Amino acid sequence: MLYSDKVIDHTDNPRNVGTLDVNDPNVGTGLVGNPACGDVMRLQIRVDAEGRIAQARFKTFGCGSAIAASSLVTEWVTGKSLDEASALKNTAIAAELNLPPVKLHCSVLAEQAIEEAIEDFLRKQASLAEKVPAK
């Protein structure tokens, strides 16, 4: 599939749209926004016992490129370890020669969301650890 086809496919059929339980201790939630274009994006990850991202879900309200970017991200992210996900860049996606432009900040919105989701998960884990009495 050409890159542009892939992105249009993700816009028309976004994968992994939805919600994970925010209260689940294994779920990290990242909520980011770009006021300039009014986009808000929520990305959630469920991490398994091995520290891999078993599930990723997102909900975006915003321009098509943000939707496509987040859909691609969740696909790419599922099955990766936290470190790998953290190193997310667009390198995985093959470059076409001529592509339509992207709004500033929209391109990084997905990355920011991932960072926040991971941080949220780690924060939750840390506060849980505090509650467990030391043995």
Active site residue 106: yes
Catalytic residue of the set 37, 40, 88, 108: 37
Is 63 a catalytic site residue?
no
The DSSP bridge pattern shows strands 39-47 and 27-34 to be antiparallel
Read off the amino acid at residue 86.
S
Nearer to another protein, 35 or 133 (CB): 35
Which residues of the chain form contacts with another protein (CB under 8 A)? 3, 7-8, 10-11, 31-33, 35-38, 40, 42, 59, 61, 63-69, 89-91, 93-104, 107-108
Which residues have C-beta within 8 Å of that of residue 122, sequence separation ≥ 6? 28
Catalytic-role residue among 41, 56, 82, 106: 106
| Residue 80: CB minimum distance to another protein, A | 18
- 22 contacts: CB under 8 Å, gap ≥ 6: 29, 44
Q: Residue 103 Cβ, how far from another protein at the closest point, in Å?
A: 6
How far is 47 from 124, CA to CA, in rounded Å? 12
* Active site (catalytic) residues: 37, 106
